[in-house]
Amino acid sequence: MEPAPSGPSVKLAPRIVGACVPWMWLAGLTLAHVAPWCGLAVARTLPVEAGLVLGTPLLLLAPSRHSRRMCTTAWILGWVVLSPTPVALLRSLTPLPAKGSLRVVTLNCAGGDVRAAEEAFRLQPQLLLLQESPSSTQIRALLRRHPGWTATVGPDASILAQGSVRPFVGPDRHTDFVAAEVRLAGGGQPFRVASLRLTAPLLRLDFWNPAAWRAYAEDRSLRKRDLERIVRQLQAAGSAGWILGGDFNTPPDPCVEGALAPLGLRDAFSSAGRGWGGTGPAEFPLVRIDRILCPEGWRVRAAWTVRSAFSDHRMVVADLEPSP
């Protein structure tokens, strides 16, 4: 029997593997969160932070203290580049900027609980976007307690504003969004608003199963098609000046985001978020499924989330400054 190979090459192999594996994990995580391929959607179901935490034990494979320091530095840089959370957490340590001329709040009312909608008024918005909205009768009763407010109520979503709301009816009637032109009571130029709630999310945790990867890819493709349809209808009223908010029922995903490109929007939390941005479920908001998007030319002063006592979603609040 020949003796087992020994020597420097054998001793070096584990060190090479240990040095490479953490970098391979980080490269894979980066690809998963940047590439616009729906086939990678399962890897984007959990936030970047979850992928980094799950991969942290791999840092122990690094063959030296210097290598571990390099990998840890790369981990931190990857977090800063791939997620808005690190900067948002730092912003939360500073005083909240002065309120902008337009405060927008979006909230899923958890099956139409009017108490959730009433709760949102305590944040003093000028524009309120509701999903799983209370009924039109309940909204009318709510507005009687808030003089100067008007609303348009859709099958699922609603738009309420401190001013006038002129609903936009597209060529096709769908239940997943409602749109309107809004003019605030304080004056200024009118702007367009859409409140939406996309298809309920896919809930599978068997990420090791190829069937789960296929299911998540199809789920994201469906959402992309839904958003493309919504954007086409919104463009019929004009492609500029839209505020889009609501329950996307999926975290931000490059596979889906491309559908929004024709409207020229930016994510309020990614631009000026404060604190943790997750909105669902309310008790443990791991994923950021509720969002506010505004025109690229607008200034976002601040964006943050607020726990609701009557909903399984957290509210998203954004202070905006329209372009001159």
Task: Let me know if residue 196 belongs to a domain.
Answer: yes
pLDDT > 90 in the chain, percent: 68
- Shared-domain flag, residues 121 and 138: yes
pTM (two decimals): 0.91
Q: Tell me, what's the pLDDT at 179?
A: 94
- Shared-domain flag, residues 97 and 78: no
User: How far is C-alpha 194 from the chain's CA centre?
Assistant: 16
Say if strands 265-267 and 242-247 run parallel, antiparallel, or are unpaired. Answer: unpaired
Which amino acid does the sequence have at 289? I
Task: Let me know if residue 3 belongs to a domain.
Answer: no
- Shared-domain flag, residues 106 and 175: yes
> What confidence tens digit (pLDDT) does each residue in 246-296 have?
999 999 999 999 999 999 999 999 999 999 999 999 999 999 999 999 999
CA distances from 105 to 186, 244, 268, 289 (A): 18, 11, 11, 14
Domain span at 147? 91-321
Task: Let me know if residue 21 belongs to a domain.
Answer: yes
Last residue of a domain, one of 83, 114, 145: 83
Task: Let me know if residue 255 belongs to a domain.
Answer: yes
**Do 285 and 251 form a contact (C-beta atoms < 8 A)?**
no
**What's the CA angle centered on 283, arms 38 and 211, to 5 degrees?**
30
Query: What is the sign, positive or negative, of the torsion defined by CA atoms of 48, 53, 54, 55?
Result: positive
pLDDT at 63 over 80: no
- Shared-domain flag, residues 159 and 20: no
- Shared-domain flag, residues 257 and 296: yes
| CATH assignment of the domain containing 118 | 3.60.10.10
What percentage of the chain's residues is helix, strand, coil (to nearest 5)? Answer: 40, 25, 35
64: Cβ–Cβ under 8 A, 6 or more apart, which residues? none
- Shared-domain flag, residues 39 and 125: no
Task: Report the C-alpha dihedral over residues 42, 48, 52, 54, rounded to 10 degrees.
Answer: -40
> What confidence tens digit (pLDDT) does each residue in 12-55 have?
666 776 678 888 888 999 999 999 999 999 989 889 999 999 98
- Shared-domain flag, residues 209 and 287: yes
Last residue of a domain, one of 65, 83, 101: 83
- Shared-domain flag, residues 17 and 166: no
- Shared-domain flag, residues 76 and 215: no
N residues, the chain? 324
- Shared-domain flag, residues 24 and 77: yes
- Shared-domain flag, residues 110 and 255: yes
Task: Let me know if residue 1 belongs to a domain.
Answer: no
Q: Tell me, what's the pLDDT at 140?
A: 95
pLDDT at 170 over 70: no
Task: Let me know if residue 182 belongs to a domain.
Answer: yes
Tokens in use for 59? 């840092």
> What confidence tens digit (pLDDT) does each residue in 102-127 have?
999 999 999 999 999 999 999 999 99
Q: Tell me, what's the pLDDT at 117?
A: 96
- Residue spans of beta strands (DSSP E) within the chain: 102-108, 127-131, 149-153, 158-168, 177-184, 191-197, 242-247, 265-267, 290-295, 299-306, 315-321
**Do 315 and 306 form a contact (C-beta atoms < 8 A)?**
yes
Mean pLDDT, the chain, whole residue set = 90
Task: Let me know if residue 2 belongs to a domain.
Answer: no
The count of domains in the chain is 2
Average of per-residue pLDDT across 179-198: 92
**CA 292 to CA 277: how far, in whole Å?**
11
- Shared-domain flag, residues 37 and 117: no
CA distances from 319 to 1, 49, 74, 126, 265 (A): 76, 26, 33, 10, 15
Last residue of a domain, one of 49, 83, 117: 83
